[in-house]
Amino acid sequence: MAYKVLSKGLFLFFLFIAANACDCEPQKDNPSILPPPIPKPNVIYKDVRTKHGVCVRIYIPKSVEPNQKLPLVVYIHGGAFVILSAFLPPYDDYCYWLAQKANVVVVSIEYRRGKGYPIPIPFNDSWTALKWVASHSSGTGPEELINKHVDFSRVFLLGDSAGGTIVHNMAMRVGLKKPKGLKITGITLMFPYFCGSKPIGSVEPVNATLSNGCGKIWLDAGGAALGLDNTQVNPLVDSKLSQLGCQKVLVIIAEKDYFRDRGFYYYKTLSKSGWKGKAEVMEIQGQEHDFQLYYPYSKDAQDMLQHVISFINN
């Protein structure tokens, strides 16, 4: 199976190759350079270019009844705002598992990124795609699969690393803008990428080199004009955090992840902000940032997936 025995170095090499894929069929001209995606015998999937040009991949369990409505998970992938793709492993694999095991519809967003598409384009593309999804809430949207099979009373956003950052921001926009047809039940942030100009926690104050390097991710991806304390990347200083537009939040952190403390303090700050929802944090001992991408079949990765499924279906 894809990535079961790949070394971490080789895995990262493949991800680098896919860095600037921004079409609905990334790397179509040379697919042999990437590991093959896992087969998808148990889901219907379809790639769609939305009205405004942002691409999404839709996954629906084949077991669904003709007019059965399922919860919706909108997935936003990570990659430091510049690399990786919704249409390639490991995210294509993860969304397949999620649709099948959780019995949900998954819409995975292929936002533009990398050279020529700096911040805030990944955020704005994700918002465009989310509003496109919401256009189906009355059952008259352009994609019949969503019209027929999505229960818009159970909508979840899920993202890892930089995708977790974007997910938080999408929930903030929903809370502040209240777009028609879009109410979010919950969001899951897996190892979210947050930073700030002032060190926090136990690691940042004693490792200036690493701290500066992590901040550089945001700055180099187009965030230099905004700075490290812009609320999009540093929600700890956001006076409007209590307006987060969802009912519940799951934050997943890893013991050895450099961003562990940022994720934990996000959970604590949100809980004390006056926000009316319910937040929980799951810490995975002994693991590093986004470990599930390298070791998707490990016990910790599978336990994490089951926790996410329980969060969605409870």
Name the active-site residue from 77, 136, 149, 289.
Answer: 289
Give Cα separations from 105 to 25, 99, 139, 304 (angstroms): 21, 6, 15, 19
Catalytic residue among 93, 160, 238, 257: 257
**DSSP one-letter code for 97:** H
Looking at beta carbons, which pairs linking 21-28 to residues 24 or more positions away fall under 8 Å?
21/85, 21/87, 21/88, 22/110, 22/112, 22/113, 22/114, 22/117, 23/55, 24/48, 24/49, 24/55, 24/87, 24/110, 25/87, 26/85, 26/87, 26/88, 26/110, 27/88
**Distance set, CA 180 to CA 127, 143, 147, 171, 184 (Å):** 13, 18, 16, 14, 12
Biggest CA-to-CA distance, the chain: 57
Which residues, including other chains, have CB under 8 Å from residue 207's CB and lie 6 or more apart? none
Residue 193 near residue 217 (C-beta atoms within 8 A): yes
Tell me which of 161, 168, 211, 290 is the catalytic residue: 161
Q: Is 257 a catalytic residue?
A: yes
Active site residue 161: yes
289 is catalytic: yes
Beta strands in 231-295 (DSSP E): 246-254, 278-284
Run of H or E including 311 = helix 299-313
Q: What angle do CA 156, 147, 172 make, to 5 degrees?
A: 30
Where in the sequence numbering do the catalytic residues fall? 161, 257, 289
